Amino acid sequence: MNALKFNYDDYAIQMGAGDLFQTILEDYGTLGIIGEEHNKIMCYLAATSRLMEKPLNILVLSSSGAGKSTLQDKTLKLMPPEDIIRASAITDKALYYMKSLKGKMLALEEAAGMKDTYAIRTLISEGYLAQESVSGSKGQSLHVEGGCSIFQTTTNPQINPETKSRFFVLGVDESREQTRRILEMQRKAQTLDGLKESVETEGIIRKHWAFQRLLEPYAVVNPLAPELFYEDDRIQARRDQLKFLNLCKAVAFL
């Protein structure tokens, strides 16, 4: 037990050395994500926020083959496996049988795989799901504890606006310059230097698992919140400001 504790502390010191966010960016880079600095930090914050009272939710919207699934996949690799629930597609009905999602990261690889996103919206807004049903002559009560971070990817820009408004929507860099950087990285992966970097990935992943397992739910307050300003010319600001304030708390929590 002492050896395990020492290991965890050692990993925590590694994560705390220098700039934490720079370390996160560099580790994503070693895992094969080039560029996308803003997206990498947002995804890591959202994943970490699964332990908060109001987790952040991410929707990555891009063309097919642009790299949205890779961004999701590498983020999930940095989180402890026991906290990940992953599905290529899921129905609203299936969500009601998951019992508890608290402290988890629910990753859906393609939002188009959901025919109806009502349960997802309810899970985010209310923090739980409840349903009464009848099976034969008996009643059945289903209750799912929420409090999870939801990570979805999609190629469909026409996703339900009510659903979209509950997420931080990220777009993947589809520029020619980014394509050039990715192609260079793919070629480098075939070299000796590339092989050496691939060997490092296992240690990086385990470092983040240890770091994340040290985290516990913790109340965060923002004493500067009354001094902040948010544009009030749209009714959507009522929801958007809450997302922004929760993002501030996620940074402080991490």
22-69 pLDDT per residue, tens: 999 999 998 988 888 899 999 999 999 999 989 999 999 877 776 788
User: What is the percent of the chain where pLDDT is above 70?
Assistant: 86
> What would you report as the CA-atom Rg of the chain, rounded to the nearest whole angstrom?
20
Cα–Cα distance for residue pair 143/132, rounded to 1 Å: 9
Could you tell me where the beta strands, DSSP code E, fall in the chain? Answer: 58-61, 84-87, 105-108, 128-135, 138-145, 149-154, 168-171
Strand partners, 105: 84, 149
Q: 106 — alpha (psi -120 to 50), left (phi > 0) or beta?
A: beta
Nearest to 114 by CA among 85, 142, 94: 94
Q: Which of 104, 105, 150 is nearest to 123 (CA)?
A: 150
- pLDDT of 6 above 80: no
